[in-house]
Structure 1
Amino acid sequence: MNNSMDHESQQKKLISFLPSGKFYFSKAVKAFQQNKLPLAKKYLERANQLEPDDPTIICQLAIVLAEMGDYETANDLLYYILNRIDPDMTECYYFLANNYAYLGKYKEALYHVRTYLYFDPEGEYAEEAQELEEILTMEIGGEEDFLANAGSGEDFWEEFELIELQDEANHLLKEGKIGEAIRLFREIIEKYPRFWPAYNNLALAYFYIGKTDEAEELLEQVLQENPGNLHALCNAAIFSLHEGKPADELASALEKIYPISDDHRFKLGTTLAMLGRHEPAYRWLKSIVKKGYEVDSYLYYWLAYAAHSIGFEEEARHYWETFVRLHPEKKGREPWKTGNFPSPFSGFPRTD
Structure 2
Amino acid sequence: MSSNIISLKLTADFFAERANRSLDRYNYSKALRYFKRAGEMEPKNPSHLCNMAGVLGHLGKFSESNEILMNVLKKFDDNAAECHYYLACNYVYMDLLEQAEEHAYLYLRKDPKGRFAKDAVEILEYVAQDLNHPPLTEDLNLEEDEKTILHEQARTMMEEGRFQQAEKLLSQLLEDHPDFIAARNNLSLCYYYKGEIEKAHQMIRSVLEQDPCNIHALCNLAILYYQQQELEELSALLKELRKIIPLQYDQAYKLGITLGVLGEHDAAYQLFKKMSAYAWRLDFHLYHYCAVSAFNLGRYQEAKKYWKWVQREDPESPIAPYYLDWIESGQTHREAPYYYQVPHHYQESKKKEALQDSMERDPFIRSSFLWALRHGDRETKLQVLQAFEWLGDQEVIEALKEFVADPEQEDDLKQMANFVLGTLGYAGSNQPTIRWRSSWKEVVNCLRDRLTGEEQEAAQQLWTEFIQARYPNVPIIRKPKAWAAALEYLITPTSYKELAQSYSVSAQTVKKNVDTIREK
Q: TM-score, normalised by structure 2?
A: 0.37
| Structure 1 match to 2:48 | none
CA distance 1:276–1:37, shift in 2 (3 Å): closer
Q: Which residue identity is paired with 1:280?
A: A
Is residue 54 of structure 2 the alignment partner of residue 67 of structure 1? no
Q: TM-score with structure 1 length normalisation? A: 0.53
Match of 1:97 in 2: 106
The CA distance in 2 between the partners of 1:181 and 1:107, in whole Å, is: 26
Number of equivalent positions: 230
Cα deviation for residue 252 of structure 1 reads: 1.1
- Per-residue CA shift, 1:183-225, capped at 9, x if unaligned? 1111111111011110110111111111111111100111122
1:216 to 2:239 alignment: no
1:249 aligns with 2:236: yes
The 1:229/1:323 distance shift into structure 2, 3 A limit, reads: same
Question: Does the C-alpha gap of structure 1 residues 216 and 322 become closer, same or farther in structure 2, counting only changes over 3 Å?
Answer: farther
For residue 243 of structure 1, report the CA deviation from its aligned partner. Answer: 2.9
Shift of 1:277: 2.4
Whichever residue aligns with residue 196 of structure 2, its letter is K
Alpha-carbon distance, 1:104 to partner? 8.8
Of the two structures, which has the highest relative contact order with CA contacts closer than 8 Å and spacing of 6 or more?
1
Letter in 2 for 1:226: D
Q: Show the 5 A alignment for 1:1-352.
A: 66-68=89-91, 78=101, 92=102, 95-98=104-107, 105=114, 160-246=145-231, 247-290=234-277, 291-292=279-280, 297=285, 299-310=286-297, 312-322=299-309, 326=317, 327=319, 328-330=321-323, 332-333=325-326, 337-340=332-335, 342=337
Write the distance in 1 (CA, Å) between the matches of 2:187 and 2:284: 20
Counterparts of 2:205 and 2:325, CA distance in 1: 40
Identity of matched residues, %: 27
How far apart, in 2, do the equivalents of 1:296 and 1:202 lie?
28
Partner of 1:130: none
**Secondary structure of 2:269's aligned partner:** helix
Structure 2 Cα separation of the partners of residues 108 and 175 of structure 1? 24
CA contact (8 A) 2:108 2:117 kept: no
Letter of the structure 1 residue corresponding to residue 243 of structure 2? K
Q: Secondary structure at the match of 2:182?
A: helix
CA contact (8 A) 1:300 1:320 kept: yes
Q: Secondary structure at the match of 1:256?
A: coil
Aligned residue number for residue 89 of structure 1:
none
What is the CA distance between 1:228 and its match in structure 2?
A: 0.7
SS at match of 1:193: coil
- In the alignment, the residues of structure 2 paired with residue 192 and residue 157 of structure 1 have an alpha-carbon distance, to the nearest angstrom, of 20
* Aligned residue type for 2:332: K
How far apart are the structure 2 equivalents of 1:292 and 1:107?
A: 10
**Runs of at least 5 residues in structure 2 that lack an aligned partner in the other structure:** 1-59, 64-84, 122-140, 342-361, 364-520
Whether the aligned pair in 2 keeps the contact of 1:66 and 1:74 (CA below 8 Å) is no
Name the CA distance, whole Å, in 1 between partners of 2:326 and 2:197.
Answer: 29
Whether the 8 Å contact between 2:151 and 2:183 is mirrored in structure 1 is: yes
Q: Is the 8 A contact 1:279 1:306 kept in 2?
A: yes
Partner secondary structure for residue 227 of structure 1 = coil
Aligned equivalents of 2:332 and 2:177: distance in 1? Answer: 46
- d(CA) in 1 for partners of 2:289, 2:142: 37
The answer (yes or no) to whether the contact 2:287–2:307 under 8 Å persists in 1 is yes
Q: Tell me by how many angstroms 1:271 deviates.
A: 1.1
Relative to structure 1, the CA distance from residue 74 to residue 310 in structure 2 (aligned partners, 3 Å threshold; closer, same or farther) is farther
Moved more, 234-243 or 310-319: 310-319
